[in-house]
Amino acid sequence: GFDPPHQSDTRTIYIANRFPQHGHYVPQKFADNRIISSKYTVWNFVPKNLFEQFRRVANFYFLIIFLVQLMIDTPTSPITSGLPLFFVITVTAIKQGYEDWLRHKADNEVNGAPVYVVRSGGLVKTRSKNIRVGDIVRVAKDETFPVDLVLLSSDRIDGSCHVTTASLDGETNLKTHVAVPETAVLQSVANLDKLVAVIECQQPEADLYRFVGRITVSQQTEEIVRPLGPESLLLRGARLKNTKEIFGVAVYTGMETKMALNYKSKSQKRSAVEKSMNSFLIIYLIILLFEAILSTILKYAWQAEEKWDEPWYNEKTEHERNSSKILRFISDFLAFLVLYNFIIPISLYVTVEMQKFLGSFFIGWDLDLYHEETNQRAQVNTSDLNEELGQVEYVFTDKTGTLTENEMQFRECSINGIKYQEVNGKLTPEGFTEDSPDGNRHSLMKEEELFLKAVCLCHTVQINADQTDGADGPWHANGIASPLEYYASSPDEKALVEAASRVGVVFTGTSGDSMEVKSLGKLERYKLLHVLEFDPNRRRMSVIVESPSGEKLLFTKGAESSILPRSKSGEIDKTRIHVDEFALKGLRTLCVAYRRFTPEEYQEIGKRLHEARTALQQREERLADVFNFIERDLELLGATGVEDKLQEKVQETIEALRLAGIKVWVLTGDKHETAVSVSLSCGHFHRTMNILELVQHKSDSTCAEQLRQLAKRIKEDHVIQHGLVVDGTSLSLALREHEKLFMEVCKNCSAVLCCRMAPLQKAKVVRLLKTSPEKPITLAIGDGANDVSMIQEAHVGIGIMGKEGRQAVRNSDYAIARFKFLSKLLFVHGHLYYIRIATLVQYFFYKNVCFITPQFLYQFFCLFSQQTLYDSVYLTLYNICFTSLPVLIYSLFEQHVHPHVLQSKPVLYRDISKNAHLGFKPFLYWTILGFFHAFVFFYGSYLLMGEDTSLLGNGQMFGNWTFGTLVFTVMVITVTMKMALETHFWTWINHFVTWGSIVFYFIFSLFYGGIIWPFLHTQDMYFVFVQLLSSGSAWFAIILIVVACLFLDVVKKVLYRHLQPTSTEKAQLTEAGSGINCLDSMCCFSDGETACTSVRRMLERLMGRCSPTRVNRSWSSSDPFYANDRSILTLSTMDSPTC
């Protein structure tokens, strides 16, 4: 979002744009109602897109080279670097343009939607983009609001309406919004047209739940001022439910609506692989500059000798003799730069983009990540981070809705110091057996009834409107209820109201401003006077009602930490013990209390509330003070315990993450005891763990002292595993002064649990670990709007499609339906993507070293005259056509270990951690391999062909183009075969592109050289290739050099696999499949064998004595994770003769 430029702190809106007639009124300027989510327009697409693309190092570099080729006389034509660059830029621009076109299309649909506006006494149909601030808009049932509106009236007499905000914050429950009484009566267009009123409210801001304003209605002579809060603001994007129609006045439009201000521009997360790629590019740039400078210096060293400076067959012109030395040196240097520039792989970026884009579809297509009950599959919102899933070291997870189902069930309660459970729809005190005579418990005691009424009145539950039609509502003649359907913003409230209705106190809905409760069949009406809304700082909510007898009562419920200190009577100590007992069982606890007001107290309260609610400045602070003034001297009624079920397979998933070397942190807003018991039940904490606590510290010094003691304890007992529990207040103290100490303690604990956390604290913890010296890769997973900040902060953010709506999913990089899918996402997809892209990047650098080094070596034989070794068409097409497809297909389909094995052996994940495959060593290996192969191509061809230049029987000679083509042919074949050696998982597509690339090269060369092409200015390659292939010795050379290059590779692989196999290579043996590949079975070991026996066995195999079918396959029940999943084949005992 962006902050609109506003001068004053408030905006004044004249309803229906009736500006004051007298006086000098300067109208304020407001945005129009167009939503713009696109990045480009038709006019700025080309410049803006080009600017973005040339910010990439490689693209910019190639642009410079292209310009150099245009300006000076260079050995290769400008097309050689211009064409690949043009190709890369075009492909990327088309992809980005298409994505932006889709955004434009969506915008136009929204902006052109029809809406009805009240203008000059009638309803006018117009387009959404034409709505202005101050217009009165009509919205009908099930339509979405086109702007942020202040509700004026609805089809109900009390001016209320129901709204669902699922598309904004993902909460699916119905919320009630109310109009002020003065405008609520104006239910027709004609009446509204007469309304004279002014709204003053704050300037637009992104907070969805905050709105401060007041409305001044002019009636006859007087002006009536009413407060406006979030309950009268209808947000753009929300949907009207259970209400026929409403009228509202537009206050924020277009890009100033709260929905638009909440479009968080996705911060560009960059993966570790991309960072490695850039550092490799810089190393290669250095190699390039070194080669160019060396060639230039050597050129002048040679030319110092007279005979080489100006040989008789190449005399200089006058102009050349007189040109300045410096200019010549520079132009020579640039010419060499152009000659060697292909060492920088330009198509690497495009291939990586395509690999990420296409590869991300596999996650959505994976049926193991599909959740049947909810019909949801995994979503990918950012394809740039696929390989990052293979690098995770820390997982931060939310508890409610992520580890648990977020489905609440009422379990127990404590009333007046006695514990009760629900048995067969009756509240039964603890120890009260079922079979005792039932007669003495047919009615509720006074305290029990008061407690249940409090539960039924103090909430924000709605009833499905279709059921409350008719006076009796859902009650049949005989008084038996058909179960009511409740909607609630929090599942806890719904569970409590439902439990109360089962026990006999039923909330039957609201009519007007009164709430109806049926207590044991007797209907009572309570007039609702005020609602003190829940907020995370107070951690409680209250209602003030007038009972049928005329008493004014306050009912409050909230976290025990916020209710017990404010209670002055009731069974406080017993209840506190019960609350802790509930928490130890893993129940979510709430305390319930009430207070009676005298008429004087109530008057004072009403006055204070009105003042605070109509304040325009610092309204929240004032309200908080008034709420604190009201909610005190409470009488405690009791406490409730509600259970939240664990999701399936959570334990196995957390255990698997731990085996993979990933540390799991649980960050939750729940209270300490509840969080700990859930941690124990989901296997995050073990029973054997030594649990350290850092909780309830009020001051800096005690917190620091405790941290030092914990650090000491960890040093002393290093045998046991430690778990750490921190709460929000202690955490903020620890982070303020003692970050280092706190981090040290955390790193030595195998599990950390942070409870009572605010959303921003979650993000702070993630940032703290992310920026610690080791810079670990972090992953955050959560399901609610309160997890968004943490999801955006972590390297990889995963949203769970849960009950708490879509907010987390919309802001995440990946979205899955259940926590258990995390293991497949990391251990299979993450692992494979990482291996694929690591090989892709290294291989690209390798094939370009192979490509350009012979060109460098050739200069030593042509007196550094910048003669090219290859034809310019070959230069251009090498990266685009001849070698690009096999590596792309490899990077999409490769599975070096069977997915089942990867998932059932999380330990394999450690093999790739800390960017192991893209470190300096593997990079060095590939680079040296590239140089080695290049030397073999060049000197191999030179030794076999260089001295004896006769090729054919008739003594025909060949020249430099034939030599270059020979080197190029050998190179294309070797590089493609090298990719084939790296591939473990062969599909028909792999075969098609690998052998197809080689065949295509031969066919293309025959065509290119076999015809005189009129548009080429030189016919250097005419018939060269045909001549080359008609010579037997050339074929012999090609085969010999290719074998020489790859033989060492194969030997190295075999030896390494036998002498020091990695755990991944061992796992390749246990692969499930129809039979073992002969290549894979080279590394079938048993203990105490020498390498020779295995080589002998390998030869037996290759000679056909091996029958993989004789290997017994059996189910292994020792597999810890998938004991019930018989789809995994593991190889157990093999017949000793076979293996």
Known catalytic membership, residue 398? yes
Judge contact between 539 and 558, C-beta under 8 A. Answer: yes
**């004044």: which residue's tokens?**
12
Nearest-CA neighbor of 944 among 1044, 810, 1019?
1044
Do residues 218 and 18 lie in contact, with contact meaning Cβ atoms separated by under 8 Å?
no
Pair 239, 164: CB distance under 8 Å: yes
Q: How far is CA 566 from CA 593, 595, 620, 625, in A?
A: 9, 11, 21, 14
Extract the tokens encoding 548: 């049928």
* DSSP secondary structure code for residue 207 in this structure: -
Question: Residue 181 region, left (φ>0) first, then alpha (ψ -120 to 50), else beta?
Answer: alpha
374: buried, middle or exposed (CB in 10 Å: 19+, 13-18, 0-12)? exposed
SS3 135: coil
The candidate with the shortest Cα–Cα distance to 333, out of 288, 377, 368, 275, is: 288
Instruction: For tokens 């200015």, name the residue.
Output: 1017
148, 398, 783, 813: the catalytic one is 398
Phi-psi region of 122 (alpha: psi -120 to 50; beta: other; left: phi over 0): beta
Rg (CA), the chain: 38
State the alpha helices, DSSP H only, in 156-249: 166-169, 181-184, 189-193
- Is the separation of the CB atoms in 56 and 62 below 8 Å? no
- What sign does the CA torsion over 1004, 1005, 1006, 1007 have? positive
902 φ, ψ to 5°? -60, -40
CA distance 73 to 76: 9
Strand partners, 905: none
* CA distances to 37, 89, 274, 808 from 49, in Å: 16, 9, 20, 30
Q: Is 80 in contact with 66 (CB distance < 8 Å)?
A: no
Contacting residues for 3 by C-beta, under 8 A, at least 6 apart? none
How many other C-beta atoms lie within 10 A of the C-beta of residue 583?
Answer: 22
Strands 567-569 and 634-646: parallel
Q: Are 554 and 543 in contact (CB under 8 A)?
A: yes
Give the E-state strand segments of 855-910 in sequence order: none
Beta strands in 657-762 (DSSP E): 663-667, 690-694, 722-727, 751-755
Say if residue 970 is exposed, middle or buried (CB neighbours under 10 Å; 0-12, 13-18, 19+). buried
Nearest to 1126 by CA among 915, 904, 934: 904
Helix (H, G, I), strand (E, B), or coil: what is residue 164?
strand
Q: In the structure encoding, which two tokens stand for residue 489, read together?
A: 């913003």
Side chain identity at residue 259, one-letter code: M
State the Cα angle at 108 between 107 and 111, rounded to 5°: 85
Q: What's the CA angle centered on 1089, arms 1087 and 1092, to 5 degrees?
A: 150
Residues with catalytic function: 398
